A = this chain, B = another copy of it.
């Protein structure tokens, strides 16, 4: 038996014991043989931080629980802190103190990483320890490791992601059944795919946090949640879905992170996709990430979005990965030192689809076309349909700077013949 094969033990401090926390505890136990083979050591949870230690909990023995973080961070035997509390505080304080104490950190906290990622990566580097966060984006899909390690030579130029299972489930239901948005949301809540308060998901905020993380590590630059503009799916009508179907397209909430002349643009918005697009067939609560780079073509990873077990499995993967390489190497520090600047949303050139409800009277189309013309927004196709006393105009435009389109849209909205609030949808024609 070599020295390397003698059994060591990694002690883990677990912060939080909800669905994911208890699954991590169970998985570490169930997979102990596998873990020992992969790492040459056993892994055990030594202490679990919870707010109230008086509540009885399943699986873990009562003596493991503590309500005092100091007990964990000051325990020199604990080498890995697994943060599953979520949110910024006190998670930020705990993770900071853990890294400063030289402990490795595994976290599933997308809020924390999308707002404090660069700070924490740097802190890990300065303390010669590691922070890993595979579980923060896209559940079972090992996208963080693929971007930051496997494809480190890919020279990424764009990342497209369907990174929120709730909205993808809702849009898939709308596409499949023609259901209205509200009904599809209700069904998603009934089946447990959407929370009672779904704001975080349907507003695109959750997807924006994940895209900020992906952009940071792919472009090695600081991209914060605040840098990611997002449009949610609340304004998507069943009529848009019907038109999408007529056009042979599908509708997805897309996260897009892209380099424009060496500057980064990251956004989240509903988009019409050709049915041939690789992301078009990612349905239900599934997630997928589609990568392009200068030295790779299109690589896509897909899988179920974050459920408790997928998240726990990703956390255990990170723990194993730390145990198997107890000395931090260069690839163990995500780097955000390229310092690429942001490319303004306004200057992005996009193709838009727009459905307008208008008065059904002569000259309406002329009025509208004129406004677009004044802003040099060029119409590619238009479809007019009578609907009772109103008419519906469905327009698709030639690629145009978002700024010009926004200005034109403002003009259009002011016209008395236009009813309701126009909600344009972007069209992704190819995967460029």
By a beta-carbon cutoff of 8 Å, the part of chain A in contact with chain B is 4, 27, 31, 34-35, 37-40, 134, 140-142, 145-146, 149-155, 220, 278, 281, 295-304, 309-310, 312-313, 316-317, 320-321, 323-327, 329-332, 335, 337-338
A31 proximity list for chain B (CB < 8 A): 153, 155, 295
In the bound complex, do residue B296 and residue A140 qualify as a contact, i.e. CB atoms below 8 Å apart? Answer: yes
Q: A34-B152, A301-B299, A301-B300 are in contact. Are A330 and B335 (CB under 8 A)?
A: no
A218: shortest Cβ distance to chain B, in Å? 12
In the bound complex, do residue A330 and residue B337 qualify as a contact, i.e. CB atoms below 8 Å apart? Answer: no
Given A34-B155, A38-B335, 12 other A-B residues pairs in contact with their CB atoms under 8 A = A27-B153, A37-B220, A37-B337, A40-B330, A141-B299, A142-B150, A149-B317, A152-B321, A296-B310, A299-B303, A300-B301, A325-B331
Number of copies: 2
In the complex formed, the residue of B with least CB distance to A37 is B335
In the complex formed, the residue of B with least CB distance to A138 is B299
A298 proximity list for chain B (CB < 8 A): 303-304
Nearest 9 pairs of A and B residues by beta carbon = A142-B150, A325-B329, A299-B303, A324-B331, A153-B316, A324-B330, A297-B304, A145-B150, A295-B313
Q: A299-B301, A302-B300, A304-B297 are in contact. Are A153 and B325 (CB under 8 A)?
A: no
In the bound complex, do residue A4 and residue B330 qualify as a contact, i.e. CB atoms below 8 Å apart? Answer: yes
A-B contact pairs, 8 of them (CB 8 A): A142-B299, A149-B321, A295-B309, A295-B313, A295-B316, A296-B309, A320-B331, A321-B331
A292: shortest Cβ distance to chain B, in Å? 10
Complex Cα spacing A39 to B423, Å: 47
